[in-house]
């Protein structure tokens, strides 16, 4: 099993088995990163990785995950941004017994006809 030297922000250099690392590559923008749980302090560590580092880690037997940016990032938005008062109003609405029907009615009224 390949051992890889990585850096924990708290502990400094640590030795990690390739099977305890994960490389993640974003299919949308090709950015890479790797993550592991520090064997010394048990904290989760994530670092950005260049394409070269990604290739080296994968060649060393590190598992690779490909992920996509959330679809919500490309959704069209309308209306004013949500404010803290909106969140408070919603919290108060959730205290009512008929909150679901009232929310459904608000959504129905806001949809284009
Ligand atoms: Zn650590």
pLDDT of 62-80, one tens digit each?
Answer: 999 999 999 999 888 888 9
pLDDT tens string 10-29? 999 999 999 999 999 999 99
- Return the SS3 of 46: strand
Supply the pLDDT for residue 111: 82
Domain match, 48 and 96 both: no
- Does 50 have pLDDT greater than 80? yes
How many angstroms separate the CA atoms of 44 and 42, rounded? 7
Cα 27 to middle of ligand 1, angstroms: 29
Domain that holds residue 52: 3-69
pTM: predicted TM-score of the whole model, two decimal places: 0.67
Residue 75 lies in a domain: no
- Domain membership of residue 103 (yes or no) is yes
Give me ligand 1 centre to Cα 7, in Å: 8
């Amino acid at each position: 099993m390949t051992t890889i030297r990585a850096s924990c922000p708290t502990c400094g250099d640590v030795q990690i088995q390739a099977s305890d690392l994960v490389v993640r590559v974003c299919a949308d923008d090709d950015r890479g990163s790797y993550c592991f749980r520090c064997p010394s302090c048990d904290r989760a560590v994530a670092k950005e990785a260049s394409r070269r580092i990604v290739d080296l880690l994968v060649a060393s037997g590190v598992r690779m995950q490909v992920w996509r940016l959330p679809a919500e990032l490309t959704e069209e938005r309308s209306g004013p941004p949500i404010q803290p008062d909106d969140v408070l109003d919603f919290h108060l609405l959730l205290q009512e017994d008929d909150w679901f029907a009232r929310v459904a009615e608000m959504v129905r009224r806001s949809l284009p006809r």
